[in-house]
Structures are given as C-alpha cells and as structure tokens.
Amino acid sequence: MIVQLTSIIEGIEFQGLESNSYLDLKTGEVILIADDEIHAAKRGDDLTEQAAWYKEAVTRAKHLLENPDQFLELPSKYDLNEYKIMEKFVYSIPI
C-alpha cells in the first residue's frame, strides 16, 4: 500500500474541533469524518431525505464504526509538538 504524504498532511490540517481524519489501512486513503456523521451512523438515522454527499459521509462513518481495525486515527495539529520533534532530531545527530 502506498500512502501519499500530502494526503496525511492535508488530513491533519483539515481537521477541526468537530471532525477527525482517519487513514484507511487497506486503501491508503485519508478520510475526514465529522462528529455529526458519526452520531448519525450510531443512531441509524433515516437518510432518505438527506443530500447524496451526506448519505455517503454517514455510510463512511458507519463503515469506520463497523471496522475500527481498518482505520488509524490521525493526530490533530494540536497533538504534534514541533519543538520536541526538532529536539529529538538534533539529539540523534552524532557529534
């Protein structure tokens, strides 16, 4: 499986307070799922009157809930500590 680094970066950048990005470990695709889509999938909401894009998003959320081992939740931009990453790199360089 090949995963595009740009997809991972975009997945992290596009997350918000009410959405998370996940890496599909089978396809290498990064998907963004909003909290309300997860809640609709858990409740089993009737989607017949909803827009096609929303139906698709809730279907993806349901697939995520039914197959948690297939997905890896990406860290949010707030989980990353750039200073610690640089510090670890600097200390790894032989003197």
8-41 tens-digit pLDDT: 999 999 998 899 999 999 999 999 999 999 999 9
pLDDT of residue 84: 82
- Count CB atoms within 10 A of the CB of residue 50: 14
Domain boundaries defined on the chain:
5-92
First to last CA, the chain: 37
Q: Mean of the per-residue pLDDT values for the chain?
A: 91
pLDDT for residue 76 is more than 90 = no
At residue 67 the predicted structure's pLDDT band, cuts being 50, 70 and 90, is: very high
44-54 tens-digit pLDDT: 999 999 999 99
